[in-house]
A = this chain, B = another copy of it.
Amino acid sequence: MRSRVEDSPDQCAVEFAMEILGGRWKLAILKQLVTGTHRFGELRRALPGVTQRMLTRQLRELEEDGLVSRTVYREVPPRVEYALTDVGHSLDAITEELDKWGHWYRERVRDAAASGSRPPV
């Protein structure tokens, strides 16, 4: 488990959660793994904007935080599979909701761009 920047009893729990899950990629990686195990290359293709180095780093942190497991099969060539742990699966409902919200918000942005206006707030 990674060391925390701080651990104050008063720290907002959402802030704490985002220390673990924040950034652009982690929840997207977890979302990809909801349906089952994936190899590194599959994750990379599913998230075209991520670099190899960034994906490696994000997966390592998710592993250290107990959200993702990494299984190495000593075949030739070696096969490495990533999967959600039970703790990782505890975020399934949240990633599902974020997926719905992302679709909805993206449509909103596109509609606003198409009409050449800022979206109504």
Which residue of chain B has its CB nearest to the CB of A21? B98
B49 touches A28 (CB 8 A): no
Q: Is the interface of A mostly helix, strand, loop or mixed?
A: helix
Residues of A that sit less than 8 Å from B by CB: 1, 4-8, 10-28, 31-32, 46-49, 66, 69, 85-87, 90-91, 93-95, 97-106, 108-110, 112, 118-119, 121
Q: Could you write out 24 A-B pairs with CB less than 8 Å apart?
A: A1-B109, A6-B49, A7-B106, A7-B110, A10-B48, A11-B49, A12-B28, A12-B46, A12-B47, A13-B98, A14-B98, A14-B99, A15-B24, A15-B102, A17-B98, A17-B105, A18-B25, A20-B105, A22-B23, A66-B119, A86-B121, A87-B121, A91-B101, A94-B97
